[in-house]
Amino acid sequence: MTSSRSDRDIWSRTLLLLVLGLVCYGLPGAVIAALPLPLGEQPVLRIQGSNTVGAKLAPMLISGFFESQGLREISVQPGSVENEQRVNARNAAGRSLYAHVAAHGTGTGFVGLKAGTTDLAAASRPIKSSEHAELSALGDLRQPQAEQVIAIDGLAIIVHPDNPLNALNTTQVARLFAGEISNWKELGGLDLTVQLHARDDRSGTYDTFKELVLAAQGKSLAAQAQRYESNDQLSRAITTNRGAIGFVGLASVGKAKALAIADGESQPMPPNTALIATEDYPLSRRLFMYAKPEGQSPWTQAYIEFIHSPAGQRIVDASGYVGQHVEAIRQAPQAGMPGFYRQLSEQAQRLTVNFRFDEGSAQLDNKAQRDIGRVIDYLREHGKLTDSVALVGFGDAKNDSARAALLSKLRAMAVRRELAKHGAYVREINGMGAELPVASNEGDGGRVKNRRVEIWIY
């Protein structure tokens, strides 16, 4: 949906405060040397794809990026088509520049990349194998130069504020959206008919929900579900119907009530910042930008680097998503924790980043490679480069628990090697195999979450 005037005013004030802090916190190259101007009235940046990314986050990041380039008179205006926006600015010579954002669903971004009508595909899910193959002429879109994790989001399951339920497991959520549970009293709730609200088929939000919830339980979305192109529109609809349930990105919960979610043997987890930052929350997900790996424009390259900078990630926070900052948090000891892990939670603090891996692999993924640098910066800033870090590896049991235990330790050792390359020396490592799962091991998505290395500091 297009932005209201009040939304744009909030964005402007937020960006002004953020930009005032850029000198203190630094940007890549401060104000970067002037980028080349396009010929005619062409946009300097074109972004197509996810409504989750494009509705608010992408325009805010573009506005902050334009500020970092010394541009002025920056404004965000609705486009001539719903869910499209134009970010306008002027350079020091008074020339008008603009970027265009079209937020019609993740799939449309990859179509735009193939057609050459966009510089960046915004996505609220990873690129599919079919899309990867179809765009192979552009290069490998899974390599680090092409695939950028720009933020972490939590897929929130939302209900009307009057709904007395506080938690569901993914099996119950799947049965609800498949139409198998038709009245809330079947789950101990009110005697009300369940009303289903869902994103449309072009949405990466729907793709994520379908993969993590419906397909994982062998279910399909009920035909009676009302569909929406916009997260915000769906969230508003939930608050007008006491029997309603839906799913949205974290930034669009609004006045609805977000439920805690359990998956497999995990405890119910609310979509809070710390659990989403570590990607432990069962329905957490990454938000992406994809670009062809070779031949990116200077504007595209500079925009990507701005997104990854501390200033860019502060804008991610301001937008309502979770930035990729590294912070230390206390994790309360709980009954049933293995002895080593319980002792660790009593004596150390956990950092809000997990390193994750492909199945059967100890190779860090694209996000983890950037996170190594973020962790090194944190350790250096806090004087923790030597003998302060504990690494704890986890795996998914799948067919062989012994193999999971071995891989969990090998993954921790892989992270230790990467940290050592940058001058950080680990105090201890431990491989815990398939213990303490954060998601179900029945599906690929859950197993990916369980294949992780946590980092703790004393």
Which CATH number covers residue 363?
3.30.1330.60
Give the span between the Cα atoms of 206 and 177, in whole angstroms: 12
Residue 285 falls within a domain, yes or no? no
Residue 351 falls within a domain, yes or no? yes
Structure tokens at 249: 């990105």
Above 70 in pLDDT, residue 442? Answer: no
Residue 254 falls within a domain, yes or no? yes
* Burial of residue 335, with CB atoms counted within 10 A of its CB: 0-12 exposed, 13-18 middle, 19 or more buried: exposed
- Are residue 236 and residue 306 in the same domain, yes or no? no
431 near 408, Cβ under 8 Å?
Answer: yes
Give pLDDT tens digits for 373-392: 999 999 999 999 999 999 99
Give the span between the Cα atoms of 69 and 35, in whole angstroms: 8
**Residue 24 belongs to domain with CATH number:** 3.40.190.10
Give the span between the Cα atoms of 318 and 262, in whole angstroms: 27
Give pLDDT tens digits for 289-329: 999 999 999 999 999 999 999 999 999 999 989 999 999 99
For 236-257, what is the mean pLDDT? 96
Structure tokens at 238: 């939930």
Residue 391's contacts (CB-CB under 8 Å, 6 or more residues apart) are 412, 415, 416, 426, 428, 429, 430, 453, 454, 455, 456
Structure tokens at 7: 């939304």
Above 80 in pLDDT, residue 363? Answer: yes
> What is the pLDDT at residue 356?
85
Name residue 444's amino acid. Answer: D
Structure tokens at 261: 């979610």
Q: Return phi, psi of residue 407, to 5°.
A: -65, -35
Residue 281 falls within a domain, yes or no? no
pLDDT range class, residue 15, cuts 50, 70, 90: very low
- Are residue 189 and residue 126 in the same domain, yes or no? no
Residues spanned by the domain of 239: 154-274
> What is the pLDDT at residue 352?
95
- Are residue 230 and residue 314 in the same domain, yes or no? no
Give pLDDT tens digits for 76-121: 999 999 999 999 999 999 999 999 999 999 999 999 999 999 999 9
Q: CA Rg, the chain, in Å?
A: 22
Give pLDDT tens digits for 336-355: 788 888 899 999 999 999 99
Write the CA distances from 397 to 129, 263, 362, 440, integer angstroms.
Answer: 25, 15, 16, 10
